[in-house]
Amino acid sequence: MSLFSTAQRTDAYQPKLAWGAAIGGVWVFILVMLGAFTTSIGAGMIFLDWPLSNGSLNPEGWLTDMMMFAEHSHRLSAGLMALITIAIWFAVWKYEARGWIRAVALFAVGLVFFQAFVGGLRVLMDHLHVEMVNTSMGRLFAMVHAGLAQIYLCVLLTISLGLARPWIDQAKGSFDGSLLRIGRWCCGLLLLQLAVAAIMRHSYAGIAIPHFPMSSAEGDLLPPAWNFRVGIHFAHRVMAVVLTAALVWFAVRLWKSPSTGEGIRKATAWMIAMLVGQIALGAAAIWTMRNPYITTGHVLLGACLLATTYGITLWIHGRRESSTPA
């Protein structure tokens, strides 16, 4: 049979396809971690060229210099992520019968290449200064690059969950429509918070307010002086309070819902545990004056919190869709 034949397509559970997509989903977290660490130690511009590093795939000294290692390993892992995404798309196109899964996989390929393009512009255009916002064009692209990473994470999770056995074999159920709305709001707030965080990190505003939980050494709730960096940092704190309330409310509603199965209950418990850990790491990042390992952990756990909340919401959406008569 031809390599490009689609005669083998099925909508049944396919273990190899499901595990391949899951491995790709795990790799994106490694990519997020490497990107966060690179930013945390200020190594984003250690190489002034792109896509090569100092004109090479194996630049001299990158294995012994921490700054070079962080950025070059991030670039190599991004290249591998692109190959993994293409492989997932090809396998889905060849073996998966559901059109929506094939469409999402194709979108993932386009998104991973667009993400790489934006990452390249971050390097190549860093020398251009944008007077209106008093930063470089490269840093603006870095903010977009960080935000797209979270969207890409959700796209890969959609493919992985859609191919998983529980999604395919789970008995049809019915969730209250308000649960889906709350989940969507939580996902939207998380994406907004992560966007604010990206602007904060790339504006060097991580310790613009060097005190926590209050905003000054005197115990003031509001910062005594304001500028853009203080404002974006304070917005991140305010969003954290809003998100905490929203996620706790979502968790309470999930636990009370008779449609919530054991798997979603466990995911909800993890969501709240991650929320608590995220608040603790955010506080520790300020108290340690942005220790790069703590800051990287804060970014990575934020991505895990988004993935868990999005996964729960996607599951609710899928169960409602499947329980609707054709």
| Counted domains in the chain | 2
Closest CA to 122 of 44, 235, 16, 212: 44
Do 137 and 178 lie in one domain? The reply is no
Predicted confidence (pLDDT) at residue 26 exceeds the cutoff of 80 = yes
* pLDDT, tens only, 56-65: 999 999 999 9
Do 233 and 324 lie in one domain? The reply is yes
pLDDT given at position 47:
97
* pLDDT, tens only, 134-181: 889 999 999 999 999 999 999 999 999 999 999 988 756 677 789 999
Q: Is residue 2 part of a domain?
A: no
Distances (CA, A) of 104 to 101, 263, 300, 310: 5, 24, 24, 15
Do 134 and 215 lie in one domain? The reply is no
What's the rounded Cα separation, in Å, for the pair 220 and 214? 6
Do 41 and 66 lie in one domain? The reply is yes
Do 143 and 122 lie in one domain? The reply is yes
**Of the candidates 169, 202, 222, which is a domain's last residue?**
169
Q: How many CB atoms lie within 10 A of CB 279?
A: 17
Do 57 and 178 lie in one domain? The reply is no
Do 117 and 227 lie in one domain? The reply is no
Phi, psi of 130 (to 5 degrees): -105, 105
215: CATH: 1.20.120
* 325 band by pLDDT with thresholds 50, 70 and 90: very low
Do 93 and 215 lie in one domain? The reply is no
CB-based contacts of 246, cutoff 8 Å, min separation 6: 182, 185, 186, 189
More confident residue, 53 or 326: 53
**Of the candidates 169, 192, 209, which is a domain's last residue?**
169
What's the rounded Cα separation, in Å, for the pair 119 and 75? 9
Q: Is residue 138 part of a domain?
A: yes
Do 325 and 315 lie in one domain? The reply is yes
Q: Residue range 225-247: average pLDDT?
A: 97
Predicted confidence (pLDDT) at residue 326 exceeds the cutoff of 80 = no
* pLDDT, tens only, 103-127: 999 999 999 999 999 999 999 999 9
pLDDT given at position 323:
44
Q: Is residue 144 part of a domain?
A: yes
Map residue 56 onto helix, strand or coil. Answer: strand
CB–CB of 47/123 below 8 Å? yes
Positive or negative, the CA dihedral 258, 262, 266, 271 is: negative
Whole-prediction pTM: 0.93
* pLDDT, tens only, 4-18: 566 689 999 999 999
Distances (CA, A) of 41 to 36, 37, 38, 121, 284: 9, 6, 6, 20, 16
What's the rounded Cα separation, in Å, for the pair 296 and 285? 9
Q: Is residue 3 part of a domain?
A: no
DSSP state of 130: E
Do 237 and 268 lie in one domain? The reply is yes
pLDDT given at position 318:
86
What's the rounded Cα separation, in Å, for the pair 150 and 147? 6
Q: Percentage of the chain surpassing pLDDT 90?
A: 87
Do 269 and 283 lie in one domain? The reply is yes
pLDDT given at position 259:
85
Predicted confidence (pLDDT) at residue 188 exceeds the cutoff of 70 = yes
- Structural domain of 276: 171-326
Do 21 and 147 lie in one domain? The reply is yes
pLDDT given at position 176:
79
**Of the candidates 148, 169, 190, which is a domain's last residue?**
169
